[in-house]
Structure 1
Amino acid sequence: MRILVVEDEQKTANYLSKGLGESGYSVEVARDGLDAQHLINEDEFDLVVLDVMLPGLDGWQLLQLIRRRSQVPVLFLTARDAVEDRVKGLELGADDYLVKPFSFIEFLARVRTLLRRSPPREREHFRVADMEMDVLRRRVTRQGERIALTNKEFALLELFLDREGEVLSRTYIASRIWKMNFDSDTNVVEVAVRRLRAKVDDPFTHKLIHTERGMGYVLEDRT
């Protein structure tokens, strides 16, 4: 889990970085709002710990910029203890608000709670054998050759890659890709897998999508 701490007071920043690091988290520290904005635009974090009074951009402005981009959990950690400040922070989109001075044990408990609530970040890139998928660019290649897929084919392949090595039942595939309850008289899954194989497996010697009779399908490198 990666945490961005935005704190201009060096002693507090070092204390948080050390404590979170010892608790098993990867920590990045920004000393002002502009540095934090750059890091948020360039990287992905699982949680942002944010002071209000910052040079460059203050915490209120930075939170608004964050919320235009993502729903990453934000915990305000600030000396601003007025009720109206708490209300403002939560109304702008913060997930929690903790006032300084604070107990590190309470702070860590709130961090863990927010991280449990946040959905896992989706993977942006997959590679199995000579196949690569760039999720953000919607690009799939094998042996460096671009493969054109429909939206459903792309979603199906992404599911296989995300669950590499796991046998996925037809019922599970139907529920994930078509959001439907599986009807044994419907061959939509078989047809979709056949069409996907025709593009990503048939033109190549090394096959990646395999049928497990009576169970479903699995994508794995069996070399």
Structure 2
Amino acid sequence: MRYLLVEDNIELSEAVIKRLALDGHAVDHATTLSQAEDCLSAASYDLILLDVMLPDGDGRDFLARSRAHLETPVIVLTARSQVSDRVGALDQGADDYITKPFDFLELEARCRAVLRRRGGSARNEIALGDVIFDLLAGTLRHGDETLELRSREIRLLEVFARHPGQIMSKSQLMDRLFSYDTAVTENAIEVYVGRLRRRIDGIGLRIETVRGLGYRIETEVA
């Protein structure tokens, strides 16, 4: 998934980006609200991590202004622990908040929870026909068989799973899987799709190539 981190603390930002990258997430980084606006005008994001106090303004004010047209879920990062501050962030449109300093495990859990709620699910699992995709464990279960996936395979399959039956172009997949500072071509998408195809072969799923348009995931009928 592709995240936007809006945070001016470089040390914290680098740590967050590194941690999320271990799970295969792509993270774009903005240090100001102006940079965040530029990112949002150029790309789509699955989740925004938004600091409160930034060099050019208050993240909560930015969120309140943006909510009229911004549907992307937002987790506010704040050093303020007062109940009124947290309530204010939620009332201004935040989907959740986390207080600094925070544990990375909690941050990851809150990201998963927000994405689950937006996807209408209460669990870290997506049913694809007879196959259960566990996003937290990074596994596919089909009958008595369990297949473990690598981080990039998990994120690629997650994109397909969250858009069942939808054709995803190579450019859309690039946008969902890679940040601005990652040099990648459409050939790389072909390689990743090919690897995932081989991994899921024989467990009730297949990735169909739609000539000239892209790819979509299909469930196989036994």
| TM-score bucket (shorter structure) | 0.5 to 0.7
Aligned to 1:35: 35
| C-alpha distance in structure 2 between counterparts of 1:103 and 1:126, whole Å | 34
Verify: 1:61 aligned to 2:65, yes or no.
no
For residue 125 of structure 1, report the CA deviation from its aligned partner. Answer: 8.0
TM-superposed CA distance for 1:70, in Å, is 2.3
- The 5 Å alignment of 1:26-175 reads 26-119=26-119, 120=162
CA distance in 2, matches of 1:57, 1:114: 25
Question: What amino acid does structure 1 have at the position aligned with 2:40?
Answer: I
Distance 1:57 1:123 in 2: 41
CA distance in 2 between counterparts of 1:164 and 1:3 reads 23
- Give CA deviations for 1:140-174 in whole Å, capped at 9, x if unaligned: xxxxxxxxxxxxxxxxxxxxx9996969xxxxxxx
Contact 2:77/2:98 (8 A) holds in 1: yes
TM-score norm. by structure 2 comes to 0.54
User: Partner residue of 1:184?
Assistant: none
Give how far 1:19 is off: 0.5
RMSD between superposed Cα atoms in Å: 2.8
Q: CA deviation at 1:7?
A: 0.3
Q: Which amino acid aligns with 1:67?
A: R
When residues 42 and 88 of structure 1 are mapped into structure 2, their CA distance, relative to the original with a 3 A threshold, is same
**Residues 123 and 166 (structure 1 numbering): CA distance in 2 closer, same or farther, change over 3 Å?**
closer
Measure, in 1, the Cα distance between the counterparts of 2:40 and 2:16: 19
For 2:77, the aligned partner's letter is L
Equivalent pair of 1:40/1:66 in contact (CA under 8 Å):
no
SS at match of 1:69: coil
Provide the C-alpha distance between the structure 1 equivalents of 2:102 and 2:109, rounded to a whole number of angstroms: 12
Q: What is the rounded CA distance, in whole Å, between the counterparts of 2:217 and 2:96 in structure 1?
A: 39
Contact 1:34-1:57 within 8 A present in 2 as well:
no
Among the aligned pairs, what percent are the same residue? Answer: 40
Give, in angstroms, the shift of residue 118 of structure 1. Answer: 2.2
How far is the alpha carbon of 1:87 from its aligned partner? 0.7
Deviations 1:93-148 (A, max 9, x none): 10111100111111111111112222457999877xxxxxxxxxxxxxxxxxxxxx
* Distance change >3 Å, CA 102–CA 166, structure 1 → 2: closer
Relative to structure 1, is the Cα distance of residues 102 and 61 closer, same or farther in structure 2, using a 3 angstrom cutoff?
Answer: same
Q: Which has the higher strand share?
A: 2
What is the distance in 2 between the residues matched to 1:87 and 1:77? 13
The answer as to 2:12 corresponding to 1:12 is yes
Amino acid in structure 2 at the alignment position of 1:63? L
Partner AA of 1:38 in structure 2: D
Q: Distance in 2 between matches of 1:98 and 1:51?
A: 10
Answer whether contact 1:52 1:80 (CA < 8 A) is retained: no
> How many Å separate the matches in 1 of 2:46 and 2:59?
18
Question: How many corresponding residue pairs?
Answer: 134
8 Å CA contact 2:168–2:216 kept in 1: the answer is: no
Residues 1:164 and 1:15: Cα distance change in structure 2 (over 3 Å):
closer
Shift of 1:65: 3.3
AA matched with 2:23: S
